[in-house]
Structures are given as structure tokens and as C-alpha cells.
Amino acid sequence: MKVVCFMPRTSPAQLLGEPWSLLAACRYLVGKFDIKIIQSRKGVGFEPDIINAARDTAILGISCMTGYPILEALRASQFAKTVNPSIKVVWGGWHPSACPEQVVENRVVDVAVVGQGERTFLELATAVQNGMPFNDIPGIVFKRGKEIVRNAPRPFENINNFPPIPHELIDSDVNLRPTVLGKRTIHYQSSQGCPHRCTFCAVQSVYHSRWSGLKPDRVANEIGGLIDRYGIDSVTLDDANFFVDLRRVHEIARLFIERKFNIRWGNANGCAHHLLKMPHETWRLLADSGCSDILIGAESGLQEGLDLIDKGCTVDETVALVKLSNSYGIPVHLSMMVGLPYETDNLLNMAAKELKAILEMMGRIHQQTGRWNPAFLFLYTPYPGTPLFHLSVKRGLIPPQRLEEWATYDLNTRNTPWVPRDIVRRVALISEYVWGWLSPDYMATIRGIAGWKRLPALVVAMLFTALCKVRWTTQFFSVPIDYFLFKACRRYFKP
């Protein structure tokens, strides 16, 4: 039996990247079904591939996040249903896990998979092949005639039970791209879930504070296999929380050194208060094994905000961690947001207070480390199913009522009515422009421009860097003439 899987892009600008979630969902199907994976690629229409593949296919599986991917996922589902009305369309991923009933209400979706999809997808495919009903398959919401049925949840499973990711199902060479880590970077996930209870986070609401990590030997074996098979020189970790088990982290880094992998790896996600407990020996191993950066959800410069989201750490701990990590030569990338739904009558002024506190925290970090620290700043986007989403509705959020409406719901859009528009504009200027040009990563991207445009691009880049240093030093984030000029240049040079 044929099974087709489709991976939409996360944004219109995305080029490629391993469809990790689809590969994970298909790992039990290898050898049992005829599997074809279709990826959406910038500048290449996916519709003909979907139409041709769906004609004689029993299942179309789609992995979908909230936002733009829903637009492409719906188009793929509609094309498949048009050419093959009997095809079963199965959606999995973050959005179907958060809003399964609303997803299945759509006429082109038959099943929504909630949570871990590895065994679920196999059981669904087997049921379709044998003409059996879906009644006894845990972890799904599905249509039964005109009725929408929610089955019992699937218990969270130790991921060491799962087979390896079947990279052979795709052309990995096409997906390997130059990044700040290296010339041939691959995505890798060594764990699922997170034990913490941050009230804004989809991971907490889907996995209910459960976590499972691959054993160090398996991580080292799989990374070694990717080096041998594809010649990778770098790895981006997609773990929600890599640093849950510090002994596991220690052993993974030790094995990377012992096996002489000679790669750079980064985007290792963790929590500040937990990382501060990591012993010196582990920090040293991380640096020696090629760990190039750590990602921390600092979230806010206001302790009031950290308490609201049950972050379990303090602003001072974030500052201390950045200083500690930098002492080992490992930069910390900070992710923060503005616009939390505080329970106060003065909510409209809280976004400005948050932004000021974040800028002050970044100033403290710069003063203590003597260097610019990479950082990301977003507007708070209430994610469906999370505790803070329900509080946001009480504070005035009007959530999308249909699946199609979620397609424009993303981190770069003002979704919360209590964030003033001038703060939205200021956040965009700071995050996309000022902080971007203070980061060495932007200059590395510019150097990647080929041909005659490279020299003028470098000249323009140095100008923007100088202007951003002035803006940061003076804390002047109004009159964004240079920001508009930057966006025009970005469209022209297309790094």
C-alpha cells in the first residue's frame, strides 16, 4: 500500500530543511509500506507532485505547525481529495495536537494525531490497509460519518524504543545547507518533551511535562552514521530541552570527543537555573566537543513576567548563565517576548515596561561580558491549548474560529489587542534590525553572497552595523528610516 507524506514550509521564505517530524512518523512504516515524501520548496510548486502521487495512494500524511504551514497543508489536502476522494488525510504535529477537533472539522481532513505519532501512524496505516475502523487506535481524533470521535490518549513512550530516523526516504544532500555552524548542517533531535511547566509553551501542553532522551551511545552512533553517510560538518539540535539530564549531556560530549567527530553543534536548548548547576567538567567537554552555542528561553526581563509563565528562574540567573557560558567560549542565544497577558488593569502599559526591562537586562549582559550577546525578540503569541492561551482569551484575545484562520497566526503578527502598535513596530526594529546587525551571525550571512554583489553588500553591512551600534548606545528606536532602507537592501541582495 502506498503512503504519501507532505511537509509544508514554515514560512514563504524558507528554502529547505530535513522534514524531521515526517521522518520520525514514518520510521515504523519502512519495509511495510511504499512511502513517498514530498517537501514544499521555495520557488517550486508542490501541487503537481501531490496530484500525481495521490491518485493511487491510500493515505496522505501531513506534519503541520500553527501559522503559514496550515495554508500549504490545506492546499495539499484539497488537491489530494480532488483527485482521490477516498484517500485518508492524516494531520499530525503541533497544531493538530493542540486543536484536533477543529482540524478534523475541516472537510479535507480525516484524522488528527495527538502527541507522539510514531506508533499511531503505523496503526492507522495498518487499519486502512486491512479495511479496519479506527475505534481502537489511541492518540487520534477522527471522523466517523458526521460524528467527530476522540479516542483515548496514547501513553507517552520512551523514545529509545523507536527505530532510527529513516533518512534514506529523502535526498538529504538537497536538504543540507550552509549555516553559521558549517557548510553541511543537518537537523537532529535527541529527545522529546520537557519536564518544565511553562504556561505559554506548546511542549508542556502536548507532552504534559514528560521528557525522554536517547541514550548517549545511540546519539553518538547516529551522529557518526550521518557523518559517514552525508559528510556533515555541523548539527542543529531540535530538542525542546537538551539539558534535562546533565549526566547524559556529559557522556554525549565525551563520546563526540572520543570518536573524533570534529563537528560543530549548537542550538542546544536549556533552562538557565538548571544550566547553572552544570559542573565545570561538563562545560569543558561541551566546549571541546564542538558545542558552538546554547539557546535559552529567557522570555522576559521582568521577574513579574517570569513568575506569570511559571518559568522557575530569575532574571539574575539568566545574566549569570550568559556570563558563565561565555567564560567557556560558548555564546548563549536568548529568546524573549513582549506582550504577556498580565492580570492588571494597566495592561496596555505593560508591554512598554516589558520591553524596557528586556533592554536593561541585555545592557547588563553586555556590560558584564564585554561583547554583544545574540538574542531574539518576539511578540507573545498565545498558543492554543496552553494555560496562558486561556488567560489571554479572558484578557481580550479573539482566537481563530476555523482552521483556515490559523494560517496567519504567527510570531511576527500582532495577535493580542493589549500590545500597542508602536511597541509592535519597535519590537520589529530591535529584533530584526538592531540586534541582528550587532550579531556576528548577520555578517557571516552577508559573506555568503556570491558574485559581484558581495563587495557592495559588505560595504552596506558595515554601514548598518555602525548605525545599529549608535541606536543601541543611545537607546534610540524611533524614526526608522535606516530600518526601511535595510529591508529594501535585503530584498535586493537576497543573502
Which CATH architecture describes the domain 2-150? 3-Layer(aba) Sandwich (3.40)
Which residue type, as a one-letter code, is found at position 490?
A: R
**246-277 residue pLDDT tens:** 999 999 999 999 999 999 999 999 999 999 99
Q: Name which of 79-83, 244-248, 460-464 the model is least confident about.
A: 460-464
- Tell which wins on pLDDT, 155 or 14: 155
447 pLDDT higher than 70: no
pLDDT digits (tens, 9 = 90+) for 91-147: 999 999 999 999 999 999 999 999 999 999 999 999 999 999 999 999 999 999 889
pLDDT in tens, 384-425: 999 999 999 999 999 999 999 999 998 777 889 999 999 999
Structure confidence by residue, pLDDT tens digits, 167-220: 999 987 788 888 889 999 999 999 999 999 999 999 998 999 999 999 999 999
| pTM (whole model) above 0.85 | yes
Which class does domain 168-400 fall in?
alpha beta
For residue 495, pLDDT beyond 60: no
Report CA 178 to chain centroid distance, whole Å.
18
Q: What percent of the chain lies above the pLDDT cut of 90?
A: 82
- On average, the pLDDT of the chain sits at 93
pLDDT band at 494 (very low <50, low <70, confident <90, very high): low
Q: What is the pLDDT of residues 45-72, one digit of tens each?
A: 899 999 999 999 999 999 999 999 999 9
